[in-house]
Amino acid sequence: MTLPFLTPHFPGVGGSIKQRPEDFFVEEIPLYEPSGEGEHVYCQVQKIGMTTFDMIDAVGKALRIPERNIGYAGLKDARAVTRQVISIFDTTEEQVKALKVPNIEILWAERHLNKLRMGHLKGNRFAIKIRDVNATDVVKLRPMLDEIEKRGMPNYFGEQRFGRRGDNDILGACLVRGRPEELLARLLGTPNPAVDLNDEHQARHLFDAGRVEEAMHHFPRRCGLERRALARLMKTGKPGLAVKSIDEKLRKLWVSALQSKLFNEVVAKRIESLDKVIAGDLAMKHENGACFLVEDVAVDQPRADAFEISPTGPLVGYRMSHPTGESAKVEEAIFKANGLTPGHFKQEGRDRAKGARRAMRVKPADIAIAAGGDDHGPHITVAFTLPSGSYATVLLRELMKGDELTSKEDHQQMEDESALPVESEDQ
């Protein structure tokens, strides 16, 4: 599904992003500061051109400690310059500050009481260069940004959520429907020349043709997930056991991608009235994430206009709170069109999800734009802050009016920009 723009009446500036790591800078805004005492050392790490997991692996090896001793609040892009805070157990501030690891710099280190956990993050600050543009087109951005600052940015999940092959949501649907054969057909077959390299592309063709052993021979070592699932299928002949051999965290990510797809479709349906609440909405208070039922629009719309509250969409699951009225009809129609119900996410023996609510819009803060140029040509720089869980690429897509923001090379290293969503308290 191609998602609609909030500002289709304004032309975009076009261009491309992430041509080189220094074009995409992001810095985490911590949820809290370290106290100065405790068993864990918090440190801010600047990394260049590597995934969060690669960074954690390198830090762990350099300090000779297990990866389980290292905590992090969010995942950051590989093809970027990123600053994020991690916590390290069983080390000293001096040892951390003395680290010498390629492409990693320790900016500060201080003790704290607890391990850093996924989601312990207030937001992210971005500075992104748009290249292959006419730098004077920077003037086109202000009318769009004015409208976005007033009405909010669609809180779509970005393309990162759906993985290198763009089918994480399909894999998630196979899991919640209990269809392991379909999942393996998608995971091991369905060749796509747009994203598959030659050896992987051939392996997928062979799997689709039923030549399983030859497919195993052609899957390269970098396709560890596919090789592991295929090996279990060949050994047992049981698709269900092959699927269960896949890491549980990855299966949860696929289910989360399915939730993300459904959420995006609901936001798309409400895009023209994104800043409006309707009776029956479950609205979220931006100050604390609490949700409540909208009963009197005359009372609550002024709060929405002031950006105190926003309507929410579903991260569908078996314990998710449901809206009423027209809002409920929109969500139910989308669930039905996708052949799903909240009950699919509770089936025994399948991957389950409790569900949550997510604000349909967010407000970018501290926006700054500038035209410039360097040895690589003219560019436009856009700087802004987003709350945790929202995607910079969604805002860039709106400004550029393009859907292909990420290159094939980026997809090979794609990471989610944020923690998985946490269910809000209903009030």
Residues recorded for the chain: 427
| Distances, alpha carbon 274 to alpha carbons 207, 304, 367, 396, in Å | 44, 10, 20, 18
Query: What residues does 313 pair with on adjacent strands?
Result: 358
Pairing mode, if any, of strands 282-285 and 309-315? antiparallel
Contact 291, 312 (CB under 8 A): yes
Q: Which residues are catalytic?
A: 77
Residue closest to 30 by CA, chosen among 93, 100, 140, 108: 108
Query: In the numeric block, which tokens belong to residue 43?
Result: 């440190």
Query: In the numeric block, which tokens belong to residue 281?
Result: 């909405």
**SS3 assignment, position 178:** coil
Phi, psi for residue 389 in degrees, rounded to 5: 95, -5
Per-residue DSSP letters for 182-223? HHHHHHH----TTT--HHHHHHHHHHHTT-HHHHHHHS-TT-
**SS3 assignment, position 122:** strand
Contact 64, 52 (CB under 8 A): no
